């Protein structure tokens, strides 16, 4: 029989966004956080660069706003941008209160100040960081508080299967009521009842063959929200980070944009710089421009990679500012103090997601989405560097404030049907899951990558439709496993990306198509919003 757990707030995901909501709401609510692997195995933990915030006297809120709007290529929501940017200083202060330690520098008068670096798209130095492992420091400090809070229960190796909503149970009015969750270690499904659910599962970059993301980034929250009936927006805008380490044994290791912020140059294999030919900002152009430039040069020359060189800086400077990257490169025999680093683009950040309002609320009452899972209006068609952790922190605060105001209004939990496995068996062909997983990621990389065409998108859609049916049949006949759940979510995310890309008949921001290479400025830019015509049930079919 399925176990039942009762909470005020169920948070699915354990990165900065999920932990931020939990820590800000836990004094007034009982909270459960579920993570499908280790708690710290999330995109936050691997974030290198930092958090953008206006802290320098030479900088301004208006400057940060304008930089963000420019990077977003006409699709940012100006009110959301202002909301987020204005809270940067408060969020950094909150992290400091949680024990987060950032890199400091001593001024001429002997005082210690937070060191601010600069990244692509920013007109000023405004990136607060902890050397080159900011995410690890943030995640560790927040987790330390969550582990000791009496009102927060942590569930590692628990993979959410589906949301439970009133409409799925033929009840009215519509609201979220909890979720079914697979306990991966015990291999049994648990029922979590909750007044409110927060989706904080991160992005969906694992839908691509090459990515900087951890294995957890399979779009789970986006897919669950889609099946439950939420609108999904702007999935065509998948950000490819320009510089991931290129090495046969280097799996998904990101080379931070902060290197380019400190003067690193991109070079062709013969040592020739090339970025000035593509943008006057050179290496500090927004990521979509840099990624397309690298992709162009790799295809033009027929080479495997380009190179990122910061060896003109002193070895002491490099080791002090980039200790993690320096050590990791040495593991692969690359001494970045003396030679350039081989790099290639890789899928990095999902700008689209579950459509939310300024409080993180989705279309379903009681259901929130925060962090990379959500489409808030901040990023538009292209996320500016280091605005992602800022968005996590700000919308964690927004959602927690709204929950504090409204949690008492949500009705108490009602009896829920337990997970039913009476009609299924153990799988006898796990190879089907691994084969389909590989096929999705390969055709998405080949057909829906940095440069797209209508023909490539049509090819991708045909494969999506075929695999979607095959995966649904498999899901209906066998007991769920974590790999199967991720595969089921990946095919939905792939379909959403393809459908959004097919609807946008222009090139804008991160979406570049050879069939419509220009941006359409003859009319106001519009978000690509999809609505599920037939939301599926969360119960076992």
- Which residues 6+ apart lie within 8 Å of 464 measured at CB? 491, 494, 495, 498
CA 497 to chain centre: 14
Residue identified by tokens 């996320």 is 383
Cα–Cα distance for residue pair 114/18, rounded to 1 Å:
25
Cα–Cα distance for residue pair 375/354, rounded to 1 Å:
5
Provide the pairing of β-strand 238-245 with 232-233. Answer: unpaired
Provide the pairing of β-strand 176-183 with 158-165. Answer: antiparallel
CA nearest to 142, candidates 91, 192, 191 = 91
CB 12 within 8 A of CB 164: no
Structure tokens at 250: 């280097």
Structure tokens at 78: 């100006």
Helix (H, G, I), strand (E, B) or coil at 263: coil
Helix (H, G, I), strand (E, B) or coil at 85: helix
Say how many CA atoms lie within 13 Å of 252 toward its Cβ. Answer: 17
What are the b/e assignments for 361-394, b being 16+ CB within 10 Å?
bbbbbbbbbbbbbbbbbbbbbbbbbbbbbbbbbb
- Please say if 277 is a catalytic residue: no
Cα–Cα distance for residue pair 301/101, rounded to 1 Å:
44
Structure tokens at 436: 């389909």
Task: List 361's β-bridge partners, or say none.
Answer: 368
DSSP character at residue 43:
H
Give me the catalytic one of 265, 287, 452, 508: 287
Cα–Cα distance for residue pair 142/23, rounded to 1 Å:
8
Give the active site residues.
287
């Amino acid at each position: 029989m399925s176990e039942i757990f009762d909470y005020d707030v169920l948070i699915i995901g354990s990165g900065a966004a999920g932990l931020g909501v939990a820590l800000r709401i836990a004094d007034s609510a009982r909270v459960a956080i579920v993570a499908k692997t280790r708690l710290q195995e999330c995109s936050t933990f691997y974030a290198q660069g930092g958090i953008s915030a206006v802290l320098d006297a030479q900088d301004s809120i208006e400057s940060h706003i304008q930089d963000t709007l420019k990077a977003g290529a006409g699709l940012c929501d100006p009110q959301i941008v202002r909301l987020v940017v204005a809270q940067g200083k408060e969020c950094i202060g909150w992290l400091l209160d949680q024990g987060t330690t950032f890199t400091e520098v001593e001024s001429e008068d002997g005082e210690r100040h937070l060191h601010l670096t600069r990244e692509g798209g920013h007109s000023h130095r405004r990136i607060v960081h902890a050397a080159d492992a900011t995410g690890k420091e943030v995640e560790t400090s927040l987790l330390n508080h969550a582990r000791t809070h009496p009102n927060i229960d942590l569930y590692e190796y628990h993979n959410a299967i589906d949301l439970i909503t009133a409409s799925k149970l033929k009840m009215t009015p519509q609201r979220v009521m909890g979720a079914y969750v697979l306990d991966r270690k015990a291999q049994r499904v648990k029922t979590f009842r909750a007044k409110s659910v927060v989706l904080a599962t991160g992005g969906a970059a694992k839908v691509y063959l090459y990515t900087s993301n951890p294995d957890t980034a399979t779009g789970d929250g986006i897919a669950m929200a889609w099946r439950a009936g939420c609108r999904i927006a702007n999935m065509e805008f998948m950000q490819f980070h320009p510089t991931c380490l290129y090495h046969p044994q280097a799996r998904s290791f990101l080379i931070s944009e902060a290197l380019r912020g400190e003067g690193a140059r991109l070079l062709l294999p013969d040592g020739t710089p090339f970025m000035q030919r593509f943008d006057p900002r050179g290496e500090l152009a927004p990521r979509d421009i840099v990624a397309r430039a690298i992709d162009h040069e790799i295809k033009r020359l027929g080479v495997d990679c380009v190179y990122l060189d910061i060896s003109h800086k002193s070895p002491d400077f490099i080791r002090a500012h980039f200790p993690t990257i320096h050590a990791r490169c040495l593991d692969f025999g690359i001494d970045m103090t003396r030679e350039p680093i081989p790099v290639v683009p890789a899928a990095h950040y999902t700008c689209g997601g579950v459509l939310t309002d300024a409080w993180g609320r989705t279309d379903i009452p009681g259901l929130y989405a925060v962090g990379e899972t959500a489409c808030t209006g901040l990023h538009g068609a292209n996320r500016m560097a280091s605005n992602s952790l800022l968005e996590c922190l700000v919308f964690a605060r927004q959602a927690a404030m709204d929950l504090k105001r409204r949690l008492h209004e949500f009705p108490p939990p009602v009896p829920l049907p337990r997970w039913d496995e009476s009609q299924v068996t153990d799988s006898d062909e796990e190879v089907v899951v691994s084969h389909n997983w590989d096929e999705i990621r390969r055709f998405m990389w080949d057909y829906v990558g940095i440069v797209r065409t209508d023909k490539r998108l049509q090819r991708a859609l045909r494969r999506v439709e075929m695999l979607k049916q095959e995966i649904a049949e498999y899901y209906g006949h066998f007991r769920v496993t974590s790999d199967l759940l991720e595969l089921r979510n990946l095919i939905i995310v792939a379909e959403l990306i393809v459908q959004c890309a097919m609807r946008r008949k222009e090139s804008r921001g991160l979406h570049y198509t050879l069939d419509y290479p220009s941006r359409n400025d003859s009319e106001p830019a519009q978000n690509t919003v999809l609505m599920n015509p037939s939301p599926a049930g969360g119960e076992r079919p």
